[in-house]
Amino acid sequence: MKKWTIRDVMTTDAVAVPEDASYRTVVDLLAERRISAVPVLDPTERVVGVVSEADLLYKVEFAGTAAEHRRFPNRRRPEREKGEGRTARELMSAPAVTTGPDTPLPAAARLMAEKGVKRLPVVADDGTLVGIVSRADVLKVHLRPDPELRRDIEDEVLRRTLWLEPYEVQVEVDSGVVTLRGNLDRRTLAELTVRMVGAVPGVVAVHDHLSFDLDDAELARSRWGRSHPFSTTDPST
């Protein structure tokens, strides 16, 4: 089964600016490309920071507040310094939050959520820029067509991984929501099937209508209770 990574969804024609790019150059680039942030590169083409719309807005926020700055020089100093910045080096947020092209999509989504960023520069092992991935790019996996999802589930999960026959599990997919029906010999196999189908990239939810003949999970717990040295179960009962 294909494991989707950043490489599968990232934009490879990423734009960036050098550290000495002017404020106006950055503003014009964001407007022209309709993007909300741009990576900043050092002379060796490595990503050293990111300038976002939020960074640029400090110049608007603090315009005309020189007198207040003199009275309260330490109030919001980092933001004020960005408001006075003229180059990408002075405006950028650093260090940049980046990811690699082989990062799994769930890991990238968690990173974006934890850091509160909308896009990530994608860098090679040497730190050079190879692409950009946005929240919208990460969500592309959920745009996979239902027939494609069904093929992945039936061929990669049920047949090749779990070795199930076609008649044992019936698969329906509607807008990424998977419904499983059928009868399997063991409860643990049924639960494993649901977990593995839920992990297929693009699956939104799994409706489990599988039945089973043997509750081997309960049987295992019962045997553990009778045989474990710390069990309080009376073997004679």
Q: Is the pLDDT of residue 211 over 70?
A: yes
**CATH architecture entry for 6-139:** Roll (3.10)
**Measured over all CA atoms, what is the biggest interatomic distance in the chain, rounded to whole angstroms?**
87
Average pLDDT taken over every residue of the chain: 86
| Category of 29 on φ-ψ map: left (φ > 0), alpha (ψ -120 to 50) or beta | alpha
pLDDT tens digits, 152-199: 999 999 999 999 998 999 999 999 999 999 999 999 999 999 999 999
CA distance 120 to 98: 5
Same CATH fold assignment for domains 6-139 and 144-218:
no
| Category of 226 on φ-ψ map: left (φ > 0), alpha (ψ -120 to 50) or beta | alpha
pLDDT tens digits, 54-66: 888 887 766 555 4
> What are the boundaries of each domain within the chain?
6-139, 144-218
- C-alpha torsion 177→181→184→188, nearest 10: 30
More confident residue, 228 or 122: 122
User: What's the pTM?
Assistant: 0.69
Select from 3.30.1340.30, 3.30.70.100, 2.40.110.10, 3.40.190.10 the CATH code of 144-218.
Answer: 3.30.1340.30
